[in-house]
Structure 1
């Protein structure tokens, strides 16, 4: 039986500001958000139109939620070439309407002594939200690839290994494999979260499984695909 579709909700852009040269935070608000408390790293599916007027969907991680006042923050990565998501995130003015579905997403934190988070700039909002939600007695390590140090955002992990792409193609699995292998050898991780480009996710997941981490302790999700313009931020397809 097909699951019933979630209803479309409406809100308004309250503010827009840059967190980094390529990451924009949009604060959304409206009566429909009052009382809604998403889980860490859940996202919304924003309904947009492309350059030809066709309906498209883009996903954005809910970075912060203030359910008492009906406000959410979403972070969006701006991609070169300006797809529908990037165009919207870069130009949305306070007061403009937003149509979306959500919150959505199956990712949940599980109790573990050691957590390993692997991703890139598109999953940074999700990784940041997840590490902030961990209990103080649970350790977190993150391996994150970005274009440059200017794309970094704070992560509440005890250890963060930043990788600079430095002009190499985004989504190249080789960029993550060696650093992740070193972390797996050095630590004991009961839960692993792989949130990155789809091909990189598959390659890293195979490495993690080969290192002895059981599949049920690995959550893997492709946030974008290299052949296409990223459909994110976690999730932030743009």
Structure 2
């Protein structure tokens, strides 16, 4: 089974590891030159045995890509890999994938927690400058704020839904990108569809984690 898995994985080397916030590590991988990536997509990193863990891509250029991984106190295989990885270490991962990518819209709404900031940063940098954006991110601490383009509304946890309910948006729907904790994502989608009258097709949801869920560690 592991040989079959290796057949589908891209091989790279860790070139650098640094911090973009006190709890967010940037892991630069070099080697692959033929990757196709759309901003907002993620890769699934082989972290041991047959385990794969998903990490959003912060930036990509020929021969290199940057992952930004939030450190958390868990002891799962993904948390251990991200905490212990060092320059020079070989890494295998799947090709970029995922539906959380920019779409055409009169404006863009990005809502999530600190785990969504990496994908949101890539999306925001790819959007046309003339198209309005509204970004709302929930964090535990102000030090968790990433450097993101445009105006970002930062709210302390738990304040995501309350912050969204008071956010002044245009009357017509745009496209919403919702990511982070699974139950919070469901609540945001329900608010947009039920309270604001958005069509469900205008809300793109990507749950990144949920308490106690194996595989999201």
TM-score by length of 1: 0.83
Q: Deviations over 1:39-58 (max 9, x none)?
A: 00111100112xxxx43211
C-alpha separation in 2, matches of 1:186 and 1:42: 26
C-alpha separation in 1, matches of 2:9 and 2:215: 23
Counterpart selection for 2:113 from 108, 115, 120:
120
Aligned position for 2:41: 42
1:61/1:125 contact within 8 Å kept: yes
Unmatched runs of 5 consecutive residues or more in structure 2 = none
C-alpha separation in 2, matches of 1:108 and 1:127: 9
1:116: Cα distance to partner?
0.6
Spell out the pairing of 1:7-156 with structure 2 (5 A cutoff).
Answer: 7-30=8-31, 33-49=32-48, 54-67=49-62, 70-156=63-149
Q: How many residues align?
A: 210
Q: Deviations over 1:52-96 (max 9, x none)?
A: xx43211111111111xx111000011113322222112211111
Which structure carries more relative contact order (alpha carbon 8 Å, separation 6+)? 1
Counterpart selection for 1:161 from 133, 150, 153:
153
Moved more, 115-124 or 85-94: 85-94
SS across alignment from 2:94: strand
Does 2:188 align with 1:212?
A: no
